[in-house]
Amino acid sequence: MGGIAHREDSDQSLKTLAGRLAHNVRRALYDRCMLRAASVVFWLALLAWFALAIVGGLAAMAIFPAARELPISMQGYEAFLAAEPVMGRQLVAGYLVERVFEVALQPRYVLAAITVAAFVTQLILARGEKHTETLRRTRIAALACAVAALLAGSVLLVGFRVADKKYRALAGSENFIAEAIATKPLVDAAHENASRAATAEVLALLTLAGLTAAAAASTAGGRRA
C-alpha cells in the first residue's frame, strides 16, 4: 500500500510539474508574440511620426524656391507684392507651407502617444534581457527628447503664429506696409526657434530608430549566444 501511495504522490508531482512547465511555455510564447506585436506597432508609429515631422521641411524646400520663380499673387496682398516682391513671395509661400505644418501637427501627437505606449510595452515584456540595459536607457532618453521637442515646438509655434498673424494683417493693408516690413524680423526669429525644436525632434527620432535597431541586433546576438 505504501508503494502505491508513493507512486501516486510521484505521479501527482509529475503532473503538477508538467502543468507548471506547460503554463510557463504558454506564458513565454504569449510574451514573445506580444513583444513582436509591440515592436511592429512601435516601428510603424515611429516611422509615421518621423515622416510627418519632416514633411513640413520638405514642403518648404520645394515651395520656397518655386515661389521665387513663378508669378504669384494672393488676394488681399497685391499692394504688398507690388511694393516688396521678394517678401511678398515669401509671405505667399509661407502661407502654403504653414498649411502643411498644421495638417501634420495633430497626427504627430497621436503617433507620439502610440510610440510611447508601444515602447513601454516593449520594456515590460523584455525586462529580462539585461545585456541591452545601456541601450534601453539611451532609447528612453532619445524618446523623451523627441516628445519634449514635439511639445516645445508646439509651444513655440504658438508664438510664431501670433507674430505671423500680426505680420500678415499689416501686409494686407496698403497703409501699413512699412510696419509689416518692420515686423518681419520678429516673425523670422519666432520661426527660427520653432525650426530648432522641429530639428531636435527629427534628430531624436533618428537616434531612437538607430538605437532600437542596435538593441534588436544585440538581443538577437544574445539569444544566439
Residue 122 burial (C-beta neighbours within 10 Å; 0-12, 13-18, 19+): buried
Pairwise CA distance, residues 201 & 55, whole Å: 13
Q: Is residue 126 helix, strand or coil?
A: coil
Task: Give the pTM.
Answer: 0.80
Domain count across the chain: 1
Asked if residue 135 is part of any domain, the answer here is yes
Asked if residue 27 is part of any domain, the answer here is no
Chain position carrying cell 494686407: 172
Asked if residue 13 is part of any domain, the answer here is no
Q: What is the pLDDT of residues 159-168, one digit of tens each?
A: 999 999 999 9
Confidence at residue 208, expressed as pLDDT on a 0 to 100 scale: 95
Asked if residue 128 is part of any domain, the answer here is yes
Pairwise CA distance, residues 204 & 144, whole Å: 9
Asked if residue 153 is part of any domain, the answer here is yes
State what percent of residues in the chain have pLDDT above 70. 80
Dihedral (Cα; 212, 215, 219, 225), 10-degree rounding: 150
Where residue 44 falls among pLDDT bands split at 50, 70, 90? very high
Structural domain including 199 reads 41-220
Pairwise CA distance, residues 90 & 100, whole Å: 15
Q: What is the mean pLDDT of residues 183-201?
A: 93
Q: Which of 177, 84, 94 is nearest to 169 (CA)?
A: 177
Pairwise CA distance, residues 85 & 88, whole Å: 5
Asked if residue 79 is part of any domain, the answer here is yes
> Do 215 and 135 form a contact (C-beta atoms < 8 A)?
yes
C-alpha distances in Å from residue 97, one per residue of 1, 29, 205: 89, 48, 22
Residue 86 or residue 43, greater confidence: 43
Confidence at residue 31, expressed as pLDDT on a 0 to 100 scale: 54
Confidence at residue 107, expressed as pLDDT on a 0 to 100 scale: 95
Asked if residue 94 is part of any domain, the answer here is yes
Confidence at residue 225, expressed as pLDDT on a 0 to 100 scale: 46
Dihedral (Cα; 158, 164, 167, 171), 10-degree rounding: -140
Pairwise CA distance, residues 135 & 211, whole Å: 7
Q: Is the pLDDT of residue 72 over 50?
A: yes
Asked if residue 29 is part of any domain, the answer here is no
Residue 16 burial (C-beta neighbours within 10 Å; 0-12, 13-18, 19+): exposed
Q: What is the pLDDT of residues 95-140, one digit of tens each?
A: 889 889 889 999 999 999 999 999 998 888 876 555 567 788 899 9
Confidence at residue 117, expressed as pLDDT on a 0 to 100 scale: 95
Q: What is the mean pLDDT of residues 1-15?
A: 53
